[in-house]
Amino acid sequence: MSMLTSPDGSAISRFAFGTMQFGGKADARASGAMFEAAIGAGINHFDTAHLYTNGASEEFLGQLAAPLRDHLVIATKVGYRDGTSSSQLQRDFDLSRKRLGMEMVDILYLHRFDSQTPLEAQLETLVAMKEAGQFRFIGVSNFAAWQVMKAHAILAQSGHAIDIIQPMYNLVKRQAEVELLPMCQSERIACAPYSPLGGGLLTGKYLDGSQGRLTEDDRYAARYAPDHMHAAAKGLSDLALALGVHSATLAAAWVARHPAAPMPILSASAAEQMAPSLAAVSFDMDEDLYGQLSALCPTPPPATDRIEET
């Protein structure tokens, strides 16, 4: 279980809500409805980023979160582009805090591993910001396990650590099981994975020809192109129908069921759209159902690739 807490000491919720659509597909009214629905489901962990919807995501979230600020865990991310200097990280985070209307946020992530800027320099900047009281927990997003542990080792020199990671993880994207999730268990690092619904693939909506990210965004279309992923989505849909449960509920609950206790980041563009995934918060998945779902998609080989020993 994660040791991360809100400013008032409340435990971080087992699910998070991602506000990528705030100020984009979701206007102020829709964003407010989703925020209230997440709060109503017991979620107190909200995720955004400096680059989401040109800053509107942070602005909307800040306004909505203000009345409950001390009870919430607010996360944002900086450093998405290669070549982001330490001074740029500080400027971007200063702007993010201004948009959020918060002197301090709870989690600050490096959004991606920067191949052009020394990690030591970026982490030195994060440590200075943390020690200045600008945020409470250090996170990294989209890092490989070796990159996380490199950061962990660098931070240890100044008495700090990686507190949380944010990888992609869902039923058809299981690379995190090879090293990232075992690493989190071993090193007591929290994990808040994104895309638990596989860009909408695992909601079942594409089975009837509906439109969405997989048909509108070339990156998502390529990411979820393999036939075995679509076969797994069909198997998930069939199982959900047999159980009388929405596919999205099962997909999100499956992510949370991993022994490393990941905290899936749910997201949507409208409150009615998010209802099935929010139902995962209270869904009790037993070991048998977890095994049935896991069998729908190949388990990735171990890091040593000694498949015969698994």
Tokens representing 272 are: 């009615």
CB atoms within 10 A of CB 77: 25
d(CA 118, CA 83): 9
For residue 76, list its beta bridge partners: 108
Q: What backbone phi and psi angles, to 5 degrees, belong to 173?
A: -125, 85
d(CA 17, CA 65): 12
Q: Does residue 177 contact residue 300 with C-beta atoms inside 8 Å?
A: yes
Cα separation, 173 vs 169, whole angstroms: 5
Catalytic residues: 52
Q: Which residues contact 81 (CB under 8 A, 6 or more apart)?
A: 112, 114
**Tokens coding 176:** 């995190």
Q: What are phi and psi of 308, to 5 degrees?
A: -65, -15
- Closest by Cα among 161, 186, 165, 187 to 176: 165
Which three-class secondary structure state does DSSP give residue 60?
Answer: helix
How deeply is 309 buried, as exposed, middle or buried, from its count of CB atoms within 10 A (0-12, 13-18, 19+)? exposed
DSSP string, 141-157: ES--HHHHHHHHHHHHT
Q: Are 176 and 168 in contact (CB under 8 A)?
A: yes
Stated length of the chain = 310
